[in-house]
Amino acid sequence: MSKITRREFALLAAGAGAVASHLEFARPAYAAGSARVVIIGGGPGGAAVANRLKSADAALDVTLIEPKDKYTTCFYSNLYLGGFRSFRSITHDYEGVKKRGITVVTDTATAVDTTAKTVTLARGSSPLSFDRLVVAPGIDLKFETIEGYSPDAAKIMPHAWQGGEQTWLLKEKLLALPDGGLIVMASPPNPYRCPPGPYERACMIGHFIKTRKPKAKLIIFDAKRTFSKEAVFEQAFNEYYRDIIELNLTNEIDDYTVVKVNAATGEVTTKSGRTERAALANIIPAQKAGSIAAKMGLTEGDWCPVNPDNFTSTKVKDVYVLGDAAIANPMPKSAYSAMSQANVVAADIIADLSGKPRPPGKYRNTCWSMLAPDNSAKIGGDYFPGKKDGKEILEAKDEFISKPDDSPDIRRQTYQESADWYRTAVADLFGEEPQKAGH
């Protein structure tokens, strides 16, 4: 059995793992420099594909299109809200990506001509041509599902479900909250980015309240009956945040889905008619694939159907879609999933360009959530293509989930694992030197 290299280990730890195809990239057979891959979106999905392609074949022409020159990760953003991370530590530029020989174009893709194989940019003068196209635009928010909510209202009632300015804004509003102020969170309906995310956020806001504004309260109005890692979160709410967090899950009699907000007065209203006047509202609406996906005809409903073997679109030929925008249920929409899908996509592109066999991919996910200092929980498993109950990706039988009665040692180790994962993942994605966990 061949020895695994340090780099391969790092990739495995970062979610590149459980993907034999990553370690078995076909040797390129096409002429050096003759193929160009364009990738739309510089998040974990797009950046990981770019990196994998370039490390598989340095001669491949790889272009990454991303409007932001700095990427603030949503993963670990809740820890920033809780006071465990700085904003700087979760914000990364693309200099390391460029150093790998990837062309990074700071612009927005506005249209794609799949016949001429070109991408039009918002500011770029001439369209970019491609041989293979990867679309990883993440999510957009369905503001219209909540009356009174809009991009302008989100400046007052931030969602902070896309990283960057919104993350910053929510923290600023937390810092400015009067002690005794009421925070109201609207948790979104399925499917959405990061299933445990709202509840990790509740814990981190709970910790912030406990340590900074002890008279404040958090009410969660949830558009669901049940949620990821529920037993562990409920135990944490009871143990650490008993008089701080009020969780209202929806049911048929009393529906807690938020249907209306008033940014001017701070009012948040549920379907059953309950209205709370919030000093700070964190409104996380329903979600859909990043808008370029619908514009390109990649969507069915709100999301993009894909071939589970390799994440090629089932709607538009020769285009790959991965990350949050893709329908990969039961894989959750997570950075870990996106990076795992990226391995398969990159291996498939190289094999395709080389005229080699394209074996179906295998995938993995782990989602960690911080509950309290030195206390994290996790859920995860392996996935493979297959058909059952209308699904085309199946979960292997080795899935794992933290338990409410885990020992403090296990929780501490789980926290450490998550910190190691973050450090390795951003080093892999953005080419930064791995930093010590922290700030």
Ligand X SMILES: Cc1cc2nc3c(=O)[nH]c(=O)nc-3n(C[C@H](O)[C@H](O)[C@H](O)COP(=O)(O)OP(=O)(O)OC[C@H]3O[C@@H](n4cnc5c(N)ncnc54)[C@H](O)[C@@H]3O)c2cc1C
Binding footprint of ligand X on the chain (CB under 6 A): 40-46, 65-68, 71, 74-75, 77-78, 108-109, 136-138, 161, 193-194, 197, 201, 290, 292, 323-324, 333-336, 338, 367-368
By beta-carbon proximity to ligand X, the closer residue of 78 and 262 is 78
By beta-carbon proximity to ligand X, the closer residue of 120 and 275 is 120
Q: Kindly state the smallest distance separating residue 198's Cβ from ligand X, in Å.
A: 8
Q: Kindly state the smallest distance separating residue 277's Cβ from ligand X, in Å.
A: 25
Instruction: Tell me which long-range contacts 8-12 makes (C-beta under 8 A, separation of at least 24).
Output: 10/424, 10/427, 10/428, 11/343, 11/428
By beta-carbon proximity to ligand X, the closer residue of 68 and 356 is 68
What is the 3-class SS of 184-197, one letter each residue? Answer: EEEECCCCCECCCH
**H helices within 5-154, ranges in order?**
6-11, 20-23, 44-56, 77-82, 95-99
Give the whole-angstrom CA distance, residue 71 versus residue 106.
12
| Structure tokens belonging to residue 415 | 């926290």
Is the separation of the CB atoms in 379 and 406 below 8 Å?
no
By beta-carbon proximity to ligand X, the closer residue of 21 and 167 is 167
By beta-carbon proximity to ligand X, the closer residue of 154 and 338 is 338
Q: Kindly state the smallest distance separating residue 308's Cβ from ligand X, in Å.
A: 17
Q: Kindly state the smallest distance separating residue 34's Cβ from ligand X, in Å.
A: 25
Q: How many other CB atoms sit within 10 Å of the CB of residue 425?
A: 25
Phi, psi of 350 (to 5 degrees): -65, -45
Q: Kindly state the smallest distance separating residue 360's Cβ from ligand X, in Å.
A: 21
By beta-carbon proximity to ligand X, the closer residue of 290 and 308 is 290
Phi, psi of 434 (to 5 degrees): -55, 130
Give the whole-angstrom CA distance, residue 336 versus residue 309.
18
Q: Kindly state the smallest distance separating residue 178's Cβ from ligand X, in Å.
A: 24
